[in-house]
Amino acid sequence: MTARLHFADAGEAGDLAAFLARLIHYDKAAAVRLQAAGDTLAVFGRPPSFEVLAIRTARLAKPYEHGLDTMLDVTVSAGELLESVGESAESAATAGVADVPSAVTGPPWAGVLPPRGGWQPEPGLPPVDAVRGLVVAAVAEFKSRVEELPPERRIRVELDQVGREIWSRTIGDTGLPVRAAHAAQALGFLRGESLDLLSSGAWLRLRTDYGSIAVRRAGVGGLSVTPA
């Protein structure tokens, strides 16, 4: 039987649909891993341009139907999920209800997720306006440096090298790469005034009211993962 999600309201479904659409903008064949327990659905995706893990949660009125009693954990097509969730957000007949698509073979990242608990605050993150400013400045620098390249050098390997140099810089003394904030901005997370930096084991997590971006910390040994 098809698993079915009951969102707390149509707004939750609409916000999740917007997130999925942004993921698909960067990867039309994107997959997402879904984990749900209790009244919370967590959706994990990896936009390839940013090399980070994006996390969006949604509130559920009740978790599942059709025999999924305690937990949902499955990797599905982001496009198929968007179609189902989009219908849920738009249709009065199915408002707040979405079917979970059939499982797909997950990409490697889907088997190595951040831990569910143990997150602690990390100091040193600038105010949210300053973080947004860093992203704007980094995008402008990338465009300027690409424009300075002679036409024959505007090839993928050169552009990737410029991008790695800029996006791998850290924000303040936090160890968080600028690419994490860039991803948060691109995915619609870097809004409002709420912005926190957390850590758990080898992971850093940039958290806002609209979603989170998780990255592995450079130089931190050991593997801290959520089991597949």
Say whether pLDDT at 44 is over 90: yes
Rounded CA separation 187/27 (Å): 13
Say whether pLDDT at 79 is over 70: yes
Q: pLDDT confidence of 118, banded at 50, 70, 90? A: very high
Q: Identify the pLDDT of residue 228.
A: 35
Q: pLDDT confidence of 65, banded at 50, 70, 90? A: low
Number of residues assigned to the chain: 228
Whole-angstrom CA distances from 181 to 87, 197, 213 are 31, 11, 8
Rounded CA separation 217/136 (Å): 23
Rounded CA separation 15/79 (Å): 15
User: Average pLDDT, stretch 27-34?
Assistant: 96
- Axis-axis angle for helices 178-186, 128-148 (nearest 10): 100
- Boundaries of every domain in the chain: 4-111, 120-216
CB 122 within 8 A of CB 197: yes
Say whether pLDDT at 227 is over 50: no
User: Average pLDDT, stretch 101-116?
Assistant: 92
Question: Selecting from 3.40.630, 3.10.150, 2.60.40, 1.10.10, what CATH number does the domain 4-111 have?
Answer: 3.10.150
Which residue do the tokens 């300027």 mark?
144
Q: Read off the pLDDT of residues 181-209 as tens digits, 9 standing for 90 and up.
A: 999 999 999 998 999 999 999 999 999 99
Q: Read off the pLDDT of residues 119-174 as tens digits, 9 standing for 90 and up.
A: 999 999 999 999 999 999 999 999 999 999 999 999 999 999 999 999 999 998 89
